[in-house]
Structure 1
Amino acid sequence: MRALVVEGVGMERYREGGSDGGSGAGRDTHRITSAIAFSFARAGADRIALQDVLLISPAPGGALLRDLARAKGHDHAVRYLDRVWQRAARVTGESTPIVDRRDALVRLAELRVAVERAVWRGQAGQTDRANLLHRLELCERAGGADHEVSQRQLALGIGASESTVKRSDSRLAAAGWLWRAEVGGAGKSSKWVLGKGSPIGMSPVDPTRQGGHKAPGYLDGVNQRHTPTTRTVDPSVRPAELDFRLLADLVARDAFRARGLGKTAAEVVAALAHRDGQSAAELAASTRRHRATVHARLVPLIELGLVVKVGELYYLADGLLKTPAKRPQGSRLASWQVIDRWDEVAADLGVLGTGYRQWCLYAFDRIAADEVYRRVREHAWPARPTTELTDQDQAFLNSWSSDFEDADRMVSA
């Protein structure tokens, strides 16, 4: 934040990211000003210090706010800054800052529970949940909600196409589960941040984007899915009961791609891994899928010897999954470890190597894109010179930043 205020470094992060519907200079001004206001509130500074730095001083971080003051008047900019400061002070007072890695992992654990308890309806919901589960694994390895992944890498990780992943990212961003902090470019993946999504029981899929086809003539609109004016949480709807870590591993395998067993079959296996010996009705309740859909997916699983039917109950085949050492009480670690048998299943279904071919296609596309970026850089105009500050301006910024760092250390202590 000091680099953002004093040197103007990182402004592109706020200009390119975000899921709000604003556009233009007003959106950029609000994002950058809000970020700086939150940093001041967390450091224990007051609104007068924020106004001095952003409106009175020549700090590059307040350039957009000063442009607003010149366009609409100083009083308008001060009133706007008051609203931003009040929100920053209220939110920072209600939230607990993340101090170390342990706090970040606790937040990620809370987010994983929210993802697992949410109700994800339809094929779009399956993709959105797989998207978030894959991102959660990346964040848990990195130790924070910030992560870096391209949409092509994500498509390989969840066994979907790039266009499917793009639509999923749009839905998740609109629902508040995801925020793109920085758009990727040549040789660099996009930077993302996981956020708190819709309330539990609310599907993050936007119903207005899932409408059916329009019939011609007088039937026009009959087959469209109607959206109620108010969306309420049905208390009778229970979240899926699956081994979600196993599910995140299965959806990326060739055997469970669209031309193979499919994502619902992976959910059936994950449901039996969570609790073996369930009837078709129980599996439908555990996976939150229609009973006819579950029956249709059980047929190939039984034919391939992955699931065994005993009476009216279904069990995983012996040796399909092995149980490691007993996990500690209350731990959320995976209770099952996959054996490498899924490649044999993919070979029997004729889909073995689908993921590798997709990876090769993306690799060749990346090589071609790098060549295009290289040609563009060779013919690009030189960058505009940066604004030079006087010695008096530098002295003011250095003295202010030292006071700000002292206040930040006192708050942390």
Structure 2
Amino acid sequence: MMPHVLARGQSIPATRRQFNRDRIGGASQPHLRRIAPHVAASITKGLSAASARLLLEGDVDGRYPGRNEAEEGYRLTMALAAGASQPGREWMPADFYRALLYSPTPGGEWARRLMRRKGPEFAEGKLAWMLTKARTWVRQEEPITCRHSAWEAVERVRRAVERAVWLSRKGGETDLKNLSVRLELCERGGGLDHELSARQQAERMGCAVRTAVLSNRRLTKAGWLVLEKSGAKSEQGSKWRLVIPDRGESGGAGATHPPAAGSAGGAGPRVSPVHTDTRALVRLAGHDAFHRYGHGTNGARLLTLLEEEEGKSKKDLQAATGLHRTTVGRRLSALVEDGLVQEVEGLFYLVSALAGPAGVMPDQEVLQEAAEARGTAGAGARRRARHVRERLNYRRWRAEQRTRRVDQVLRLVPVGAVDVETGEIIDPAWAGWDVSDPYHPVPRPAWAA
């Protein structure tokens, strides 16, 4: 394939996307225009629309960047191999060879360049190995065929989280809030993979960074989280993936949390199907009223379980949350005192100001009064301001590190050991040495002494 050559008077495109589109349009590869529609349909048979576009147009969006062209081509080819390995639409190796090696497709440029350098046999073997690797990976992962399929995967994790028991004494309330925040991000992004930094997570959860980091460690150990790429020592967030641990879909909460009472792995009587609404919990968790010195996460959990018209007793709330009866009673008393909950004949109701069409809806004025009553008003604003200062200081430190000379050359011959004008050695300790380079002195040979 001919390299891209700029014509006389033609300027370099401003962006890489435009550059790639110019190449695909045929400015430097006119033979690509000769791919007939029926041939294009034949070599993309079974691929999704995104994979077919990647094969026929190349990486015009720059989604597979690399340190060089070889790495970019390898990543693009692996993406095509994954697209050709989806369940029910698997390609045979011969189909893969035809589309990448023996058809003038932009997506197969790396493969054809490999074939020209090392021969067809080596290139076909390489593509066969990549296709096998992609199939192994696809079989191990849950098949995601569209956005609705991704939402279904997120919803399965949400159901497992909401059915689990999260004990306060083991940090369960923080872990539940952590997963609720991540589920909201995954639902917006349309997949279980997401990117989140520790400070962003702490601001969304309404807690300290250290608390969020410890919660991540517990959830990783329990099998709810998988760290795919750490963002430490960079200005990017870490890349995570939500998963369901063993027993997670049957009521268990993972290694550090026992299964729910009445579930497949739990002991005790079966309770009413009441669980924590993680969507409502996210709406409340970051507010100052539910700071750890305010009503806390358990107070927010209790609010998500209450309704305006149907009351619940302490026993029902204790069974639904798995909290100790003393904790439930203390939190309910504080909520009633601040006007967030009403108690009538031993049953607790959500106040009308917080009642929405689908559960609790935060009213800023009511929650702000509760935060002022608990002395936690302004905690979130102070946390965000502190994080802004920390980010600025970190970026300033990184800029200083980049500008600072990394390899400081050590001067071995001290200043004054050699006469600057004549070059004569003054210090007798350096007699017999060639000190023309004060940073790298070498001994003179015997014949030159």
Residue in structure 2 matched with residue 227 of structure 1 by the alignment: none
- Is this contact kept in 1: 2:150–2:192, CA < 8 A? yes
Alignment of 1:263-342 (within 5 A): 263-273=297-307, 276-317=310-351, 319-324=352-357, 334-340=358-364, 341-342=366-367
What is the aligned partner in structure 2 of residue 234 from structure 1? Answer: 266
Letter in 1 for 2:164: A
CA contact (8 A) 2:252 2:265 kept: yes
Change (3 A) 1:36 1:234: farther
Distance in 2 between residues matched to 1:299 and 1:124, nearest whole Å: 22
Distance in 2 (CA, whole Å) between partners of 1:275 and 1:145 is 36
Match of 2:216 in 1: 169
Answer yes or no: is the 8 Å Cα contact 2:196–2:237 preserved in 1.
yes
* TM-score with structure 1 setting the length: 0.63
Larger radius of gyration: 2
SS at match of 1:273: coil
Verify the 8 A CA contact 2:288 2:380 in the aligned structure 1: yes
SS in 2 for 1:338: coil
The TM-score, its normalising length taken from structure 2, stands at: 0.58
Paired with 1:245 and 1:315, the residues of 2 have a C-alpha distance of 19
Where in structure 2 are the equivalents of 1:198-277 lying within 5 Å?
198=246, 199-200=248-249, 201-204=251-254, 206=256, 233-234=265-266, 236=268, 241-273=275-307, 276-277=310-311
For 2:179 and 2:350, the matched residues in 1 are separated by: 26
Q: 2:228 aligns with which of 181, 190, 198?
A: 181
Corresponding position of 2:191: 144
The Cα shift of 1:374 comes to 0.8
Equivalent position SS for 1:7: helix
Q: How far apart are residue 150 of structure 1 and its match?
A: 1.0
**Equivalent residue for 2:181, pick from 134, 150, 153:** 134
Quick one: structure 1 residues 155 and 83, their matched pair in 2 at CA, closer, same or farther if it must change by over 3 Å?
A: same
1:42-191 paired onto structure 2 within 5 Å: 42=86, 44-45=90-91, 87-88=136-137, 90-91=139-140, 95-99=142-146, 101-122=147-168, 123-184=170-231, 185-191=233-239
Task: Tell me which residue corresponds to 1:8.
Answer: 71
Seen in structure 2, the aligned counterparts of structure 1 residues 135 and 85 have a Cα distance that, compared at 3 Å, is closer
CA distance in 2, matches of 1:170, 1:36: 34
Per-residue CA distance 1:155-189 (angstroms, 9 max, x = gap): 11111111111111122223332223333254322
For the 8 Å contact 1:121–1:203, the answer to whether it is kept is no
Structure 1 position 41 matched with structure 2 position 65? no
Query: Contact (CA 8 Å) 1:322, 1:339: kept in 2 or not?
Result: no
**2-side partners of 1:285 and 1:275: how far apart?**
20
By how many angstroms is 1:131 displaced?
0.8
The 3 A distance-change label for structure 1 pair 47 and 168 is farther
Change (3 A) 1:202 1:380: farther
Query: What CA distance in whole angstroms lies between the structure 2 residues aligned with 1:173 and 1:83?
Result: 29
What displacement does 1:87 show?
4.3
| 1:323/1:336 contact within 8 Å kept | yes
Q: What is residue 245 of structure 2 aligned with on the other side?
A: 197
Higher relative contact order (CA 8 A, sep 6+): 1
Shift of 1:345: 0.6
2:303·2:360 contact (CA, 8 Å) conserved in 1? Answer: no
Q: Residue by residue, what CA displacement relative to the aligned partner does 1:372-408 show, whole Å, maximum 9, x if unpaired?
A: 11112224769xxxxxxxxxxxxxxxxxxxxxxxxxx
Letter in 2 for 1:179: V
- Secondary structure of 1:234 counterpart: coil
Provide Cα deviations, 1:261-305, integer angstroms capped at 9, x if missing partner.
Answer: 122111111111398411111111122211121111122122222
Aligned pair 1:351/2:351, yes or no?
A: no
Q: Structure 2 CA distance, aligned partners of 1:243 and 1:85?
A: 37
User: What SS does structure 2 have at the residue aligned with 1:309?
Assistant: strand
* Structure 2 unmatched runs, 5+: 1-53, 101-109, 115-128, 259-263, 408-449
Shift of 1:4: 8.0
Distance 1:250 1:165, change over 3 A: same
Query: Which AA in structure 2 matches 1:118?
Result: A
Deviation at 1:111, TM superposition (A): 2.1
Range 194-203 or range 232-241, more displaced: 232-241
Alpha-carbon displacement from aligned partner over 1:214-262 (angstroms, at most 9, x marks no partner): xxxxxxxxxxxxxxxxxx8216466752333222221211111111112
Task: Give the letter aligned to residue 217 of structure 2.
Answer: S
Q: Distance in 2 between matches of 1:243 and 1:138?
A: 16
CA drift of 1:49 comes to: 10
Q: Which residue identity is paired with 2:377?
A: L
Q: Would the aligned equivalents of 1:181 and 1:191 in 2 still touch at CA under 8 Å?
A: yes
1:372 matches 2:397: yes
Structure-1 separation of matches of 2:156 and 2:180: 13
C-alpha contact 1:260 1:349 (8 A) present in aligned 2: yes
Which of 388, 392, 396 aligns to 1:363? It is 388
Distance 1:373 1:296 in 2: 47
Output one character per residue of 1:171-210: Cα deviation in whole Å (capped at 9) or x when no partner.
2223332223333254322232222334232223537xx9
Contact kept, 8 Å, 1:240 with 1:288, in 2: the verdict is: no
Secondary structure at 1:41's aligned position in 2? coil
Relative to structure 1, is the Cα distance of residues 174 and 38 closer, same or farther in structure 2, using a 3 angstrom cutoff? farther
The 10-residue stretch of structure 1 (296-305 or 114-123) with the greater mean CA deviation from structure 2: 114-123
Distance 1:149 1:96, change over 3 A: closer
Query: The residue matched to 1:352 in structure 2 has which SS?
Result: coil
Paired residues, what number?
309
Q: 1:119 to 1:7 in 2, by over 3 A?
A: farther
CA RMSD of aligned residues (A): 4.1
